[in-house]
Amino acid sequence: MYPVLVSFGDIHVYSYGLMIAIGILVAYTLAEKKVRKAGYDTKRLEWLVFTILAGGFAGSKILYWITRIGDIPSDPTILTNLGDGWVVYGGIIGGILAGWVYCKNHGMNFQEWFDLIIPEVALAQGFGRIGCLLAGCCYGIETASGIGIVFPENSLAPSGVALFPSQIVMSVYDFALFFFLEWFSKKKKFHGEVGCIYLIAYSVGRFVIEFFRGDLIRGVVNGLSTSQYISIAVVIAAIVIMYLGRKKKKEDHGSSASKAA
């Protein structure tokens, strides 16, 4: 694990940032091909992705500040440190809200575009988790099993002890989710369904992996972490949206059939 991959004097190439950049570039390249194949303007995709990234980074940092609000008076650097302290759920929520606003302001069908690019979001997250592994963040609990990994002293994780490979598990899960969503997108029944499946699947995976995370500085209430409570809320909301979407699709189909008769 190498938080800093290479240095050129005072210039450092951080593994986490590099993997995030690789994930975004790969995801964008694949999404651009899908958008072009669907006959949409790729310029719209450029600005949509930029807006989503801006909203995602802002949401990720803001949610982290909220979860650490009690520690800020004693450690104000929490507000100024941009090197770490990011919450993925904040990024997802912030990115979705920013994307929705952009689509609304430019006359685009948000649900349709969401379905187009959401598989690539899961792909980018898979690369991001590799960055977590290299940096040592989002580390797992101590384990005596044979799958534990030991981090060096210069990483963000505790050194000298075997830790559950939570980053590897989530990376594999995110990559698998990408392939599943690409397959499911060809079978969806309404616009927005792929996005709902992503939110449900990601939230379930995140809920489970939180039991094996050892970095829960964000707080635990009644045995569950902040991210687990968010996971529950997201799953419920996504299921409701899926139900309403399928119900509307069924009603529209029935209405069309009646008119044809």
pLDDT per position as a tens digit, 174-187: 999 999 999 999 99
248 Cβ contact list (under 8 Å, min separation 6): 190
State in Å, rounded, how far the first CA of the chain is from the last one.
Answer: 66
Please report, rounded to a whole number, the percentage of residues in the chain having pLDDT higher than 90.
54
User: Which residue do the tokens 């006959």 mark?
Assistant: 39
pLDDT (0 to 100) of residue 258: 55
pLDDT (0 to 100) of residue 4: 75
154 compared with 82, residue with greater pLDDT = 154
Q: Which runs of E-coded beta strand occur in the chain?
A: 4-8, 11-14, 149-150, 162-163, 220-221, 224-225
Q: How many residues does the chain have?
A: 261
Looking at residue 83, the DSSP 8-state letter turns out to be S
Please report, rounded to a whole number, the percentage of residues in the chain having pLDDT higher than 70.
92
C-alpha triplet 201, 204, 208: angle, nearest 5°: 140
Q: pLDDT band at 12, cuts 50/70/90?
A: confident
Span 188-208, average pLDDT: 94
Q: At what angle do helices 88-105 and 193-209 cross, to 10 degrees?
A: 170
pLDDT per position as a tens digit, 122-147: 999 999 999 989 888 889 999 988 89
pLDDT (0 to 100) of residue 75: 80
pLDDT (0 to 100) of residue 221: 77
pTM for the structure as a whole? 0.86
Span 99-117, average pLDDT: 93
User: Which residue do the tokens 């309403």 mark?
Assistant: 244
What is the residue-averaged pLDDT of the chain? 87
pLDDT score of 218 more than 80: no
Q: pLDDT band at 250, cuts 50/70/90?
A: confident
Looking at residue 254, the DSSP 8-state letter turns out to be H
Cα 74 from chain centre: 30
Span 89-105, average pLDDT: 92
pLDDT score of 82 more than 70: no
Query: Is 195 in contact with 114 (CB distance < 8 Å)?
Result: yes
